[in-house]
Amino acid sequence: MDFLKKIKDYANKVNEIEYSISNNKKEFIEIYERNLALEKEIVQRTQELDQANKAFLTLKHVWELMNSSEPLSTVLQKLVNSLHGEMGYINSTILQLCNDEKGKYFKVKAFSESPIFNKLKEFLSEKNIDIHEYHLKYDPKMIITKAMEEKSILSSREYLETINTLLYDFKDEQKEIINKLGVSKNIIAIPLYPSNNPFGVMMVFSPREDVTDKELNFLSLFANQVEMAITIANLFENLKKEAVTDSLTELYNRRYFNQALQKEAERAQRLHQPFSIISLDLDYLKKINDTYGHFFGDLAIRTIADILKKNARSIDIPARLGGEEFSVLLPGVDSSGAMIAAERIRAAIEAQELDTIGHITASVGVGTFPEHSIKLDELLDMTDQAMYKSKINGRNRVTLAKAVDDETEWHEVAFGAFMDILTKQKIPIPDQIAKEITSKLKSINTSETKSTLFSVADTLAQTYNMHYKRGLTKAKVSMAIDLARKMELSKEDIDKLKIAMMLYDIGKLMIPEEILNKKEPLTDEEKQKIKEHPLIAARTILQPISAVSDIVPIIEAHHENWDGTGYPNKLSGDNIPISSQIILLIDSYFALTQSRPYRVARSKDEALEIIKLESGKKWNEKLVEKFVDTINESKQES
């Protein structure tokens, strides 16, 4: 019995052990299964975290690019590369929607490197077509077109259909080669609408068959950042365009033209190549404005701008410098080529008939580096002089700049100098007066050139001397010519003297009016300002004008005395140009015979006696003698 009992107890213990083992095994399996599920969830969460981290880094990269100063094309290229690399896509591409006379099409704006696009570039290069200029087909049935129309992200597994439609004009065998390179399982199309304006679409080729909501959310965020980058770039481009273009004509402005000219001069010198400048001025703009109104004046200006654009090569720089003045920079073009281009422009302007106005014309000048000058300022001046000569000689013509050794009529030089002073130099005269004088010069006829120049000189003199009488400049120039001939000056020196007589006192424009018209004795400081005006005229106003560079020394010395007591450089004797002495003598004579705030006018005889007393001191004795003869002869003639 005891034995049986022991066996029974043993069996019970075995059962208990088996039951315990069974229960523990079940619990172990449950724990094991829970651990497996947990490990799986950890892996999944890790992958999601990794994906989110990549998305965050990608969006951070987008933001950094948006805040860079790089061009939009560079920014977009880096964006698609980051999307391609960091998010594991096979390829990502941004297509821009374009439109021309043939209709809508897509153009590649940026794409990440992939076998498909590398092969596409290879096929296009065989046709000498840049991938960024290739016209991809616009088809309403394509997923990318639908995405744009619906303004929503769409996906499809039929990615080959999209590729084949876009490459509509490729050969079948080429399409087959491209298709075989694709390992994508999905195409995702994300529309791009920066500032609610249709820009294009971003295509993403994914290796995954399914597109998750989280992925779509990320792509939507990414697209928003791309849109913002495009918006910022467009704003920057618009601001940049406004800074360098003329608002009325959309041609380049003076600032941009001068910068481009400087770069071209450096390039031409480095490569030993020519370049040319066309200077152009609309004829009779004031007459158009006065007769028809400023609307039609602006119409004439815009018409010339349109003609310049149509006749310009891609490397030419057409610009509006202000008012009715235009210039065109022609890189790599010599004078003969520039003359052909200028004549083509002139003829096109003349042939264009405008509403109400009818036909308009322009005066044109051409200058070439290095043929006419290797100095940029001098070349610009010579080109302007050529344009002014076209205007003086009847308008509606093209004139080639003259080489330095070529003879130029003195009144042409004077005309150009006045135009330069009024349009480019900073002289404190009212804008209205400057415009009136400039308009008078531009309306000049060949027969009245000299009389108009005298009138302009009178008007300028009256801005700083209220007592200056009309016709005085002509009288001074006439007397200077007679005296110069008596002193046996050459024709060249007499021509220089004529120009100097019209410009010598222009430095007084820089002297305050209260000093010039002061009735009380001048202070030492005020006297010094008066003494500075020859240097101001010579160096500040006239020296930048290359055409009158040989006049500058004459004007600078026109207050030097024979005995060395003059100013500004205390020159004496023969160190003073004879032309400078002639100017001083004639200026003094007319000053003596005119009323001043501090004294009454002297008679001619009284003026001569005062001048004779200064002979050998203030003036050359021989010059005084010849001057007295000149005055006495004029008395006899009258």
Span 542-572, pLDDT tens digits: 877 777 888 889 988 998 999 999 988 999 9
What pLDDT, in 10s, does the model give residues 107-127?
988 888 777 777 888 888 888
Pick the closest to residue 561 from 610, 620, 612, 618 (CA basis).
Answer: 618
Q: According to the model, what pLDDT value does residue 2 have?
A: 61
In the chain, which residues fall in CATH 1.10.3210.10? 422-638
What is the spatial distance between Cα 107 and Cα 124, in angstroms, rounded to a whole number?
13
Task: Find the farthest-apart pair of alpha carbons in the chain and give their distance in angstroms, rounded.
Answer: 181
SS3 state of residue 200: strand
Can you give the pLDDT at residue 526?
77
Q: Are strands 317-322 and 358-359 parallel, antiparallel or unpaired?
A: unpaired
Of 328, 323, 354, give the one whose Cα is nearest residue 342.
328
Q: What is the mean pLDDT of residues 215-241?
A: 78
- Residue pair 319/308 in contact (Cβ under 8 Å)? The answer is no
**Does the pLDDT of residue 58 top 80, yes or no?**
no
Compare 373 and 85 and report the one with higher pLDDT: 373
How many other β-carbons are positioned within 10 Å of the β-carbon of residue 89?
A: 22
Which pLDDT does position 403 carry in this prediction? 64
Query: How many Å from the N-terminal Cα to the C-terminal Cα in the chain?
Result: 178
Rama region for 596: left / alpha / beta (φ>0; ψ in -120 to 50; rest): beta
Q: Cα–Cα distance between 13 and 407 in angstroms, integer?
A: 135
pLDDT at 29: 61
Centre a 10 Å sphere on the Cβ of residue 243 and count the other Cβ atoms it contains. 10
3-state secondary structure 511-524: CCHHHHCCCCCCCH
509 in Cβ contact with 428 (< 8 Å)? yes
With cut-offs at 50, 70 and 90, classify the pLDDT of residue 49. very low
* H or E element that contains 120: helix 115-126
pLDDT exceeds 70 at position 11: no
pLDDT tens digits along 499-531? 888 888 887 777 777 776 677 777 888 778 777
Question: Quick one: pLDDT at residue 104?
Answer: 92
362 within 8 A of 281, measured Cβ to Cβ: yes
What predicted TM-score, i.e. pTM, was given to this entire model? 0.54
In order, the DSSP letters of 245-287 are B-TTT-SB-HHHHHHHHHHHHHHHHHHT--EEEEEEEETTHHH
Q: Quote the CATH superfamily of domain 256-406.
A: Reverse transcriptase/Diguanylate cyclase domain (3.30.70.270)
What is the DSSP annotation of 411-445? Answer: HHHHHHHHHHHHHTS---S-HHHHHHHHHHHHT--
What the block records as the tokens of 203 is 């295509």
* CATH number for the segment(s) 72-242: 3.30.450.40
φ, ψ for residue 352, nearest 5 deg: -80, 120
Q: In the chain, list all ranges with CATH 3.30.450.40.
A: 72-242
Indicate the Cα dihedral angle 122, 125, 131, 133, nearest 10°. Answer: -160
- Residue 542 per-residue DSSP state: I
- What pLDDT, on the 0 to 100 scale, is given for residue 637? 56
Model pLDDT, residue 455: 85
Quote the percentage of the chain above a pLDDT of 90. 28
> Is 260:317 a contact under the CB 8 Å cutoff?
yes
Distances (CA, A) of 107 to 134, 189, 194, 438, 587: 6, 15, 17, 50, 73
405, pLDDT greater than 50? no
Of 133-147, 233-247, 338-352, 549-563, the one with minimum mean pLDDT is 233-247
Predicted local distance difference test score (pLDDT) of residue 248: 92
Q: What dihedral do alpha carbons 291, 293, 298, 304 form, nearest 10°? A: -20
Please report which confidence band the pLDDT of residue 32 belongs to, taking 50, 70 and 90 as the band edges: low
Q: pLDDT value at position 354?
A: 92
Within 10 angstroms of residue 595's Cβ, the number of other Cβ atoms is 10
Span 413-464, pLDDT tens digits: 888 888 888 776 567 777 777 877 887 777 766 667 778 888 888 888 887 7
For 305, list phi and psi in degrees, rounded to 5: -60, -45
CB 333 within 8 A of CB 340: no
CA distance 475 to 478: 5
Q: Is the pLDDT of residue 312 over 90?
A: yes
Q: What is the dihedral of CA 212, 216, 218, 219, to 10 degrees?
A: 130
How many residues are recorded in the chain?
638
Query: Mean pLDDT over all residues of the chain?
Result: 82
The pLDDT, as a whole number, for residue 193 is 93
**Residue 206, phi then psi, degrees to nearest 5:** -105, 145
Decide if domain 422-638 falls under CATH 1.20.58.1030: no
| pLDDT above 90 (res 84) | no
Predicted pLDDT of residue 443:
72
Quote the CA–CA distance of 189 and 178 in Å, as a whole number. 20
327-344: pLDDT as tens digits: 999 999 999 999 999 999
pLDDT classification of 151: cutoffs 50, 70, 90: very high
Is the preceding omega at residue 568 within 30 degrees of 0, hence cis?
yes
CATH 3.30.70.270 residue ranges in the chain?
256-406
Burial class (CB in 10 A: 0-12, 13-18, 19+), 500: buried
Q: Average pLDDT in the 37-41 region?
A: 60
* Cβ contacts of 217 within 8 Å, gap of 6 or more: none
Tens digits of residue pLDDT in 618-628? 989 999 998 88
> Among 375-379, 433-437, 593-597, where is mean pLDDT lowest?
593-597
Q: Helix (H, G, I), strand (E, B), or coil: what is residue 89?
A: coil
The yes-or-no verdict on residue 19 having pLDDT over 60 is no
Higher local confidence (pLDDT), 577 or 172: 577
